[in-house]
């Protein structure tokens, strides 16, 4: 799973994320009112630090710059929803940027994996040469779909996030606002149900 080990507390100098004067909060409030100058000021204040963090995560200057730019676009659009009582302004911005970096790393990892991965279909009986592999793949997909249909809604959501989007347990917990222990239990039950269902069909 792709999850950079990068902590706001461990990786930035003391005080960099503090807003003792309230300037950052004031800028975000102005952004929420549509004041573009406020976005420019916030960018000048935070972009050097965020760019350094992004580069450390991605290891590519161009990608790091794009991630920071994308982050400020999202910060601009989300300014109206920002609540200083929920998180410090820099921590909020850092979380946005980190999400973009994780998405880029996940895409990079998936592209590299898909370019070289061959997924075999394991069957107990040998495949007849005359069988069309496209028909076999369709049958297998129908069995997988049927197995997923046996899951409860919560179990299926957890499994889809873990398998199709490669979310970590912690990311699933945050995404679904569900305790981590509950997520792990749902995934375990879901995998057992799918495995039992597919074993009955010799897949």
CA atoms of 113 and 115, how far apart (whole Å): 5
Question: Does residue 10 have a pLDDT over 50?
Answer: no
CATH class label, 8-116: mainly alpha
User: Which strand (E) or helix (H) includes residue 42?
Assistant: helix 36-58
Q: What is the pLDDT of residue 2?
A: 43
pLDDT digits (tens, 9 = 90+) for 26-55: 999 999 999 999 999 999 988 888 888 888
- Taking each helix axis from N to C end, the angle separating 169-176 and 180-200, rounded to the nearest 10 degrees, works out to 110
**Could you tell me which of 45, 39, 15 has the C-alpha nearest to residue 27?**
39
pLDDT digits (tens, 9 = 90+) for 124-157: 444 444 444 444 445 555 677 777 788 888 888 8
Among 85-99, 126-140, 188-202, the least confident range = 126-140
Per-residue confidence at 58, pLDDT binned at 50, 70, 90? confident
Domain boundaries along the sequence of the chain? 8-116, 133-200
Among 9-23, 94-108, 111-125, 140-154, the least confident range = 111-125
**Could you tell me which of 7, 28, 11 has the C-alpha nearest to residue 19?**
28
Which of the two residues, 167 and 142, has the higher pLDDT score?
167
The CATH T-level fold of domain 133-200 is Arc Repressor Mutant, subunit A (1.10.10)
CA atoms of 173 and 147, how far apart (whole Å): 23
Torsion of CA 70, 71, 76, 80, to 10 degrees: 140
């Amino acid at each position: 799973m792709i999850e950079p080990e990068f902590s706001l507390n461990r990786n930035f100098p003391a005080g960099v994320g503090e807003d003792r004067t309230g300037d950052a909060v004031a800028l975000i409030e102005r952004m929420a009112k549509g004041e573009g100058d406020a976005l420019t000021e916030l960018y000048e204040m935070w972009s050097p630090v965020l760019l350094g963090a992004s580069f450390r995560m991605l290891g590519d200057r161009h990608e790091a710059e794009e991630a920071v730019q994308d982050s400020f676009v999202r910060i601009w659009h989300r300014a109206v929803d920002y609540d200083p009582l929920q998180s410090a302004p820099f921590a909020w911005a850092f979380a946005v940027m980190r999400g973009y970096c994780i998405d880029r790393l996940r895409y990079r990892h998936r592209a590299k994996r898909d370019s070289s991965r061959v997924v075999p279909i394991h069957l107990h009986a040998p495949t007849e040469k005359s069988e069309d592999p496209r028909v076999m793949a369709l049958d297998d997909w129908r069995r997988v779909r049927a197995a997923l249909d046996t899951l409860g809604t919560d179990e299926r959501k957890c499994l889809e996030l873990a398998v199709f989007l490669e979310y970590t347990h912690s990311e699933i917990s945050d995404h679904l606002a569900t305790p981590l222990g509950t997520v792990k239990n749902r995934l375990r039950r879901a995998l057992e149900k799918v495995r039992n269902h597919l074993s009955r069909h010799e897949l």
